[in-house]
Amino acid sequence: MIRRNSVPESQNEMSDSQSGLQQWHSQLLSRRRFLLGLAGGSVAALFPAVCLPLSSKPATIDEWAILGQVQQHLLPDEADSPGAVKIHALDYLRFVVQDPWVDADERQFIVQGSHWLEDLAHSREQTSFLLLDQARREQLLQQIADSSAGENWLSTLLLYLMEALLTDPAYGGNPAGTGWQWLQHTPGYPRPPADKIYPKLNV
């Protein structure tokens, strides 16, 4: 029997963390209330620290191109260690965003964040996030991380990057266990075959 506490972002994972209950509880409430209040959000909602003139951002944007570039910034590929591209993080995120088992507000939040980031890029840099160099992308992401809402969005993307890196390849990330190999992690067995991943359990 492992002593379990319910901890933020980890669903019902068994945890050994016992300390700081009140602290994480208040953080968690902040996160959940934020997500619940998302509907109709704007760039000011996501990045309240930034006062913005309306930008010349086009009406439609390539949400997934932006999400993919942010993922690559957050977890870059290197010659001897995998990053977002090598672990198929964008494909994995598409699975997450279509997965009814994931909180609907969170799925909306992930995609909507790309719009808000693009708004900010146009307002601050007068161009698309996709056209910024690495240094300016870093600057922009650091700015949004200073707001709790922006930090939430980046934190959510990082969570699903870690899932793409280390969950079973049957879910689309971590191809051939490349993330496990990098971090010398031994997976459990038996591993789920493609017809036994959780959306396909027919019970």
List of residues contacting another protein (CB under 8 A):
1-6, 8-19, 21-22, 25, 28-29, 31-33, 36, 73-76, 78, 81, 83, 101-102, 138, 141, 145, 151, 154-155, 158-159, 162-163, 165-168, 170-171, 180, 182-193, 196-198, 201, 203
Q: Nearest distance from residue 63's CB to another protein, in Å?
A: 20
Beta bridge partners of 81: 78
Query: Measured from the CB atom, is 62 or 86 closer to another protein?
Result: 86
Q: Which two tokens stand for residue 191?
A: 């591993």
Query: Measured from the CB atom, is 53 or 190 closer to another protein?
Result: 190
Query: Measured from the CB atom, is 61 or 75 closer to another protein?
Result: 75
Query: Measured from the CB atom, is 96 or 121 closer to another protein?
Result: 96
- Do the Cβ atoms of 5 and 15 come closer than 8 Å? yes
Q: How many Cβ atoms are within 10 Å of 200's Cβ, its own excluded?
A: 11
Q: Which two tokens stand for residue 160?
A: 């699903």
Q: How many Cβ atoms are within 10 Å of 117's Cβ, its own excluded?
A: 28
Q: According to DSSP H, which parts of 81-166 are helical?
A: 89-97, 104-125, 134-145, 148-166
Query: Measured from the CB atom, is 57 or 71 closer to another protein?
Result: 71
Nearest to 43 by CA among 139, 137, 140, 138: 140
Q: Nearest distance from residue 50's CB to another protein, in Å?
A: 17
